[in-house]
Amino acid sequence: MSYECDDHSSRLFGDHNLRCTKQRKAIYAALTASRCHPTADELYRQVQDQLPGVSLATVYNTLEAFTDAGLIAKLPDAGDNGSARYDAHREPHTHLRDRCTGVVADAPDDLSRIILQNLPQHVLDDIRERTGFSVDEVQIELIGRFDSGAQL
């Protein structure tokens, strides 16, 4: 795969006020190809073969730039290792987090839609009325354990 910037990549990054570089393109491609919401360290291991000489600091800085620009989401770690996970899927959806391993996966789209569509509007209205806080976005994370043979 070529990591040179093409029209699509330049437009995507430009729409988020980011310069298109081969490092950014490679990191974004690895992230969008992943369904397991990788950590920066995991992404670094994925891209270092395609980008010899890329540093872990470059991966961290790129992920922070993507997050700040709204291109990806940073999911804080809920476990003991302190490593955030990253998600390029920006549509509203539900996450499944394994309590034991820290692995995060997306719930199937149809089930995510059911969960999000059935959130009662009156609850969101009550939150606004009682606290003065208007909800712009809902992020739901279900925490439990994957069965040993579960396929992500």
Residue 92 DSSP symbol: S
Cα–Cα dist 14/98, whole Å: 35
Structure tokens at 59: 């991966």
Sequence spans of domains, the chain: 1-90, 91-152
pLDDT tens for each residue of 95-105: 998 888 888 89
CATH architecture of the domain with residue range 1-90? Orthogonal Bundle (1.10)
Q: Quick check: 80 pLDDT over 70?
A: no
Q: Indicate the pLDDT class of residue 26, thresholds 50, 70 and 90.
A: very high
pTM: 0.80
Measuring CA to CA, how many Å separate 136 from each of 92, 121, 125, 133, 139?
Answer: 11, 12, 12, 9, 10
User: Topology of domain 91-152, per CATH?
Assistant: Dna Ligase; domain 1 (3.30.1490)
